[in-house]
Amino acid sequence: MKEKSTIKLGDIQKTLILPLWGRVFETQKSKPLLIDRKAVEIIGKIDYDFGAIAKEMSEISQLGWVARSVLIDRITNSFIEKYPEATVVNIGCGLDTTFERIDNGMIRWYDLDMPDTIQLRKKFIQESERRKYIQSSFLDPQWLKDLIVKDNILFIAAGVFYYFEERQIKDFFNTITGIFPGSEIVFDATSPIGVKMANKMVIKKSGMDERSYLIWGIKNAKDIQSWNSRIDILGEELFFKKIKKGLKTGTRMKLTFSDMLKIQYLIHLKIREE
C-alpha cells in the first residue's frame, strides 16, 4: 500500500485543494451535477482530514466550483467535437482534472502553472504523450512558442484571471490574438461587486493573506471587445442559472442573488481571423 502524501494547507495550497474537494463532494451525492473519479482518486492519496473542510466550507462555494467545471466541460467538449485533434491549454491548472473528464483520445493537452504547483501536481497526475506540463507564468509569452497545434486551440482558465490586473489580461489576450487567429478562450469572471464581496469573505472568514485577494472585475463581457477589434464574444453564462432545481429555498435564493450581481459567470471568446 502506497504511503499517502502530506500537504500543508497554506493559502496557495487551499486554492488548489478546495475546488478538488468540491468536485469530490459533488461526486458522492446521490444525484451529482458532475462525476469526477480522478478527483476522488487524488483526494484518497492525500493525508488530510477533509471533514474539517466540509464543516467550514459554504454550500455556495462548493456549488460554484462544480458549476464552473460543468460549464467549462460543456464548452470544451463542444470545441473538440468540431476539432477532434484540437490543442487545449489549461492555464493555472492547479489540481484540475478536466482532461480526465473530457479526453477523446486524440486531443493534445497542456497543463500550465508555476513550478511549485506543477511539482505538486506530478505527485498525483503524470504526463503522457498527449498531455504535457508547462512550468511558467501565463504572462510570459515564451511558452506560447512551444505549443504544438495540429487543429485549432482552446485556452481555458478556471479561477485565474481575476487575480491579475486588467492590463495584464489585456496584454495576454492581445498576444494570443497575434499568434493564434481562430483560437478560443474560456474563463470565469466576476463583477466589480463580486471582487469586493469575495475579498470581504477572504478577510473575515478564511484568514488568507493579500495574495488571495481578487483584483480584476468586469461587469460585461462586451467590454473586452474594446481591447481588440478581433475579439468576438461567443457567450456569457451565469454559473447557477441551470442548477437550482432540487435545492433548498434558501440556497436557491442565494444563488439567484449571486447571478443577479454576476458574482460568478463564464466568458467564452473567439479570436477572429484577419
**CATH number of residue 158's parent domain:** 3.40.50.150
On whether residue 2 sits in a domain, the answer given is: no
Residue 131 confidence (pLDDT): 98
Q: What is the pLDDT of residue 142?
A: 96
Q: In angstroms, rounded to a whole number, what is the distance separating the alpha carbons of residues 160 and 189?
A: 9
> Who has greater pLDDT, 181 or 247?
181
Strand ranges for 114-230 from DSSP E: 131-135, 153-157, 184-189
User: pLDDT value at position 1?
Assistant: 47
Collect all residues with Cβ–Cβ distance below 8 Å to 82 and sequence separation of at least 6.
152
Work out the pLDDT band at 213, boundaries 50, 70, 90. confident
pLDDT tens, position by position, 78-130: 999 999 999 999 999 999 999 999 999 999 999 999 998 999 899 999 999 99
Rounded to whole angstroms, the maximal C-alpha distance in the chain is 56
Residue 3 resides in a domain: no
1 or 121, which is more confident? 121
Residues counted in the chain: 274
- Mean pLDDT computed over every residue of the chain: 90
Asked whether residue 131 is domain-assigned, the answer is yes
Give me the half-sphere count of Cα atoms (radius 13 Å) on the Cβ side of residue 225: 10
Give a yes or no: residue 4 inside a domain: no
Domain-embedded: residue 182: yes
Q: What's the confidence (pLDDT) of residue 10?
A: 56
All three cell numbers of 112: 500550465
pLDDT tier for residue 132 given thresholds of 50, 70 and 90: very high
Split into its structural domains, the chain has a count of 1
- pLDDT value of position 189: 97
pLDDT at 49 > cutoff 80: no
**Confidence at residue 211, expressed as pLDDT on a 0 to 100 scale:** 63
What pLDDT does 202 receive?
60
Question: Is 6 among the domain residues?
Answer: no
Q: How far from 110 is each of 61, 96, 136, 149, CA to CA, in Å?
A: 27, 12, 12, 11
Residues of the domain holding 37: 11-271
**In-domain check, residue 213:** yes
More confident residue, 193 or 201: 193
Tell me if 216 is assigned to some domain.
Answer: yes
Give 138-194 pLDDT, tens digit per residue.
999 999 999 999 999 999 999 999 999 999 999 999 999 999 999 999 999 999 999
Position 247 scores a pLDDT of 85
209 pLDDT above the threshold of 70:
no
